[in-house]
Amino acid sequence: MTTSSETQELVVVSGASTGMGAATARELARRGFHVLAGVRRDSDGMSLRTEGIEPVILDITDPDHVAALTARVDQDLRPLRALVNNAGIPGAGPVEVTPLSEWRRIFEVNLFGHVAVTQALLPALLRGKGRVVNITSLNGRISMAGYGPYAASKFAMEAVSDALRNELAPHGVQVVVVEPGGVKTEMSRVGLAALSRLDDGMTPEQNARYGTLMQAIPSHVAAFTKAGVTSEVAAKRIAKAVTDGRPRTRYTIGATAAFLILASRILPDRVLDRMTTSDLRRHYPAKARGRTTAAPASRR
């Protein structure tokens, strides 16, 4: 591993407190980078700090935090090799019953916060001919019943990535998207707590429409997460997106993501709807699995 401050390059990783972000920070440090690892609390930074990893307090929705990160990068003589936009929050629930305040909260982190950090660090990335690596999701390519808020924010991040890739290509900055499927992290647990609060606020009419779907989502998320890859496996894929000499525009993480994203490109929408609805229905309460109206298929 390269340890000389004269030869190391900088990499910024947001959302590095735990899980995939923390594993990515460690993997990049092992590969010789000096990682500025964005964490929310000092305690997270203490557990992460090691050779090659410098924790920085970073809430990507806080302009003061973003400004402090930018100042830290600008004062360093080493080039900024990459910005890994990894921070994110989950968000499940039917479109009808998810409050607008929750939509805005999800987009504030999963989209606007990343745009803010990218805008702030682009001068350094342009100077160093660096790279933007945006962590989106399988749900940035495929949406389904009950996952609209989260999927919408990830679809939006995919669109921003496409625009940014074309805008920056003439100036030597590459933009890469990484699309994870299931990854064994704590993110799903946090999302299910919010889902429970949403369930409590539904009207009787909404409960009649979406009650079985709401019961299915926790089981579906748990099964998807259990079948996923470890954070360490995901981190190696993200590090590849950072270091490949001629990177692809998109990398997937996990066989499920690769299969479903390919299926979304070749299957008609109605067929894909039936596929995703059938997968969800396996997690319905037993008495509801035979019904056809409990969870309407998604419309793309």
pLDDT, tens digit (0-9, with 9 covering 90-100), for 173-193: 999 999 999 887 766 666 667
Q: Does 300 fall in a domain? A: no
Active site residue 150: yes
Q: How many helices (H) and strands (E) does the chain have?
A: 11, 7
For the ranges 165-174, 192-201, 241-250, the lowest mean pLDDT is seen at 192-201
Q: Does 144 fall in a domain? A: yes
Burial class, 291, CB count within 10 angstroms (exposed 0-12 / middle 13-18 / buried 19+)? exposed
The structure tokens listed for 158 are 């995919």
CB count in 10 Å sphere of residue 7:
9
Q: Does 196 fall in a domain? A: yes
The pLDDT value given to residue 4: 41
Q: What is the mean pLDDT of residues 58-66?
A: 98
The structure tokens listed for 77 are 């003589």
Q: Does 296 fall in a domain? A: no
- Side-chain half-sphere CA neighbours of 253 within 13 A: 31
The pLDDT value given to residue 212: 93
Q: Does 33 fall in a domain? A: yes
- Side-chain half-sphere CA neighbours of 195 within 13 A: 28
Average pLDDT, the chain: 90
Count of structural domains, the chain: 1
Q: What is the pLDDT of residues 235-285, one digit of tens each?
A: 999 999 999 999 999 999 999 899 999 999 999 999 999 999 999 999 998
Confidence of residue 288 (pLDDT cuts 50, 70, 90): low
Q: Which helix (H) or strand (E) holds 84?
A: strand 80-85
Q: Does 195 fall in a domain? A: yes
pLDDT at 2 over 70: no
pLDDT at 8 over 90: no
Q: Which domain holds residue 89?
A: 10-288
Confidence of residue 114 (pLDDT cuts 50, 70, 90): very high
Q: Does 293 fall in a domain? A: no
Confidence of residue 291 (pLDDT cuts 50, 70, 90): low
Q: Which of 66, 57, 177 is nearest to 124 (CA)?
A: 66
Backbone φ, ψ for residue 180 (5° rounding): -75, 150
Catalytic site residue from 150, 210, 251, 284: 150
The structure tokens listed for 162 are 């496409």
Q: Does 62 fall in a domain? A: yes
Percent of the chain's residues with pLDDT above 90: 78
Percent of the chain's residues with pLDDT above 70: 91
The pLDDT value given to residue 199: 78
CATH number at 228 reads: 3.40.50.720
